[in-house]
């Protein structure tokens, strides 16, 4: 568990991701509707001099859930205490976290869907009635101790909102789902990141990176840093004098095995596994995970959403299937149209 404001967080953790993390709503690019709704809720709470309602942020990883939590804390002028669902494995951990709060403080729980169910039940009264009912001892001497809590805000982040129980989900007053970013929005994010990192990048270079970033700012910033390495240190790119142009970006992204659709090595391994080993599917996620050497949860949370959104994979009641677009991407034919070999269409 950590306590900090956004500025202090960035100062104590001077990683690239934290340097690039916006600290104000004005600096947060994209997710306009969610940004406006949160800004309105924050302003209303400030005018009433109350704690903000509990907030649930869901969506794929890397879209800005953690960033928004710290922006809310900065806008409310309160401390943010951070933890994650798997870390809180017993009621005492939750009690220690909540009893250390001051009025209006924010508790940010990442991956809240992975919290233990026994701990989650204690959270119900803590969110709704701002009290904790702790059981002391056991057997005939067992008794309940009620602990009053200051009015605080719980911000939960999850990549799998469907795994949240209905009672927990119902206790959030503000719920928002973050979606993948458009290329134009990622282009603006990359321009801001380049200024902070003091990287020379032209518009075509930034657009090329944005186009292959899977709609995710975290990936866009990572690819920007890697392309910067190629621009500065690759002798064959010396004529560009450290500037990330379209040619430099294309060279670096190809070296990183990121193709024109933003598919990386694992994406292509998943698609080829479905096509070559399972005749295009259907295949269950557990079999697929063993075949590609990845965790089922990682496939479902990290890789599969983008592949489905881009139309390379479809999820059916029987399992995952490769679409016609996936075959075309690898210049392959469907099994029912001829031999499944790589060949021009």
The residues, ordered by sequence, that sit 6+ positions from 282 with a Cβ below 8 Å of its Cβ are 316, 318, 319, 320, 321
Catalytic: 218?
yes
Catalytic residue among 66, 153, 245, 323: 66
Strands 143-148 and 2-4: unpaired
Catalytic: 24?
no
Catalytic: 110?
yes
Catalytic residue among 21, 23, 35, 65: 65
Catalytic residue among 35, 218, 228, 320: 218
* C-beta separation of 323 from 314 below 8 A: yes
d(CA 76, CA 74): 5
Catalytic residue among 105, 110, 250, 267: 110
Instruction: Give which of 7, 136, 168 is closest to 77, Cα–Cα.
Output: 7
Catalytic: 198?
no
Rg (CA), the chain: 23
Catalytic: 159?
yes
d(CA 84, CA 305): 22
> Among all residues, which ones are annotated catalytic?
65-66, 110, 159, 218
């Amino acid at each position: 568990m950590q306590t900090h404001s956004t500025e202090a967080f960035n100062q104590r953790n001077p990683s690239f991701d934290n340097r690039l993390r916006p600290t104000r709503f004005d600096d947060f690019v994209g997710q306009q509707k969610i940004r406006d709704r949160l800004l309105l809720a924050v302003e209303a709470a400030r005018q009433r001099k109350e704690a903000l309602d509990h907030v649930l942020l869901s969506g794929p990883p890397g879209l800005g859930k953690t960033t928004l939590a710290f922006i809310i804390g900065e806008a409310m002028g309160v401390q943010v205490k951070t933890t994650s669902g798997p870390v809180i494995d017993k009621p005492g951990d939750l009690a220690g976290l909540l009893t250390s709060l001051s009025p209006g403080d924010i508790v940010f729980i990442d991956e809240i869907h992975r919290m233990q169910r026994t701990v989650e039940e204690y959270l119900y009264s803590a969110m709704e009635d701002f009290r904790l009912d702790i059981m002391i001892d056991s057997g005939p001497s067992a008794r309940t101790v009620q602990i009053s809590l200051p009015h605080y805000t719980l911000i939960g982040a999850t990549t799998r909102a469907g795994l949240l129980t209905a009672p927990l989900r119902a206790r959030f007053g503000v719920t928002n789902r973050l979606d993948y970013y458009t290329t134009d929005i990622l282009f603006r994010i990359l321009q801001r990141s380049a200024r902070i990192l003091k990287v020379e990048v032209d518009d075509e270079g930034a657009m090329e990176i944005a186009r292959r970033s899977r709609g995710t700012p975290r990936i866009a910033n990572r690819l920007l840093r890697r392309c910067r390495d190629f621009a500065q240190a690759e002798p064959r790119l010396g004529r560009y004098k450290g500037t990330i142009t379209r040619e430099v970006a294309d060279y670096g992204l190809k070296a990183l095995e990121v193709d024109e659709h933003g598919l990386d090595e694992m994406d292509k391994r998943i698609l080829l596994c479905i096509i070559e080993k399972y005749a295009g599917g259907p295949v269950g996620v557990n079999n697929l995970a063993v075949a590609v050497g990845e965790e089922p949860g990682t496939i479902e949370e990290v890789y599969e959403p983008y592949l489905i959104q881009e139309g390379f994979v479809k999820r059916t009641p029987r399992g995952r299937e490769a679409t016609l677009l996936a075959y075309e991407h690898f210049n392959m034919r469907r099994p029912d149209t001829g031999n499944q070999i790589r060949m021009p269409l």
